[in-house]
Structure 1
């Protein structure tokens, strides 16, 4: 199992909503825990002689799979009337321009096109993220000072 496969497994587990998954294969043992402030992944390389005869964790991964379509479908229907503002870059998300300054936006606040919603720090540069829509902030999907990926949802906005 290479690093790319492990990364894909971590993303799959994070999206599934499972709190812990253990996977044991020929010469590798992986434990992925989610639900804390940061996701935890533990990878152990062990000699094949120490592994049990039957893989123990094959069933929990299979059991987590049926839950995947249920939760996102319900959330997608509920949030379909809202516009999602996504991160245009990879970096660290900040809700304030400086630690001693007020937040850019809060839930329930009405925003206009061009209003600054947050800043994302990338390579020591702070990029202001401006709204491309007018509306009301319904939900802030990322915690302050958290890393964000490209195209990751940051805000839900009600355009009405």
Structure 2
């Protein structure tokens, strides 16, 4: 199957209204996913035995310029704050138990060694302590939500 045949297949899938089509042959696999508008989102070719070129996406969503321009301004605003990040993967809890108050809220003053949250990993609850002193400016994660390693949790104003 050459590139022209793959492109024709993408156009056919986009017109048909199907949201996902998988085609598997002896020497390659192709998965085509479309958006709700019917435009082809991506086409991926995985080669197993003989080289086959990948098809480029037929239609791509336009990138909005406004959010891109706003992102650097937000980064500059947060540059003066220190970020407390997750040291492990797990589920973050902002309270020691469901009936207790949160460890910290926006505006709370913390000292080095204060517990700011608890992360559950494999049925073990790990207290996350602050490595800095300051004031909580922003809470970046909701209670009982999953977190990744090195994910920002809190912004702290050290002044």
Partner of 2:45: none
Rg larger in 1 or in 2? 2
Q: Unpaired segments of 5 or more residues in structure 1? A: 1-21, 33-54
Structure 2: segments with no counterpart, 5+ residues: 1-18, 23-29, 37-56
What TM-score, normalized by structure 2, do the two folds share? 0.64
Write the deviation string for residues 42-91 of structure 1: whole angstroms up to 9, x where unpaired: xxxxxxxxxxxxx76x231xx22755642321111010000000000000
Map 1:8-23 onto structure 2 (within 5 A).
Answer: none
Find runs of 4+ consecutive structure 1 residues off by over 6 angstroms. Answer: 22-25
CA deviations 1:4-41 (Å, max 9, x no partner) are xxxxxxxxxxxxxxxxxx99995321659xxxxxxxxx
Q: Name the residue aligned to 1:59.
A: 60
1:112-140 deviations in Å (ceiling 9; x for gaps): 00000000000000000000000000000
Counterpart secondary structure, 2:60:
helix
Q: 2 CA distance for matches of 1:78 and 1:23? A: 42
Compared CA separation, residues 143 and 159, structure 1 to 2 (3 A): same
Please provide the CA RMSD for this pair: 2.7
What residue is the counterpart of 1:42 in the other structure? none
Q: Does 1:95 align with 2:94?
A: yes
Task: Give the Cα separation in 2 of the matches to 1:147 and 1:157.
Answer: 21
Aligned ranges 1:1-160 → 2 under 5 Å: 27-29=31-33, 58-60=59-61, 63-64=62-63, 66=65, 69-160=68-159
- Judging by fraction of residues, say which structure has more helix: 1
1: CA distance, partners of 2:34 / 2:91: 27
Q: Distance in 1 between matches of 2:21 and 2:68?
A: 25
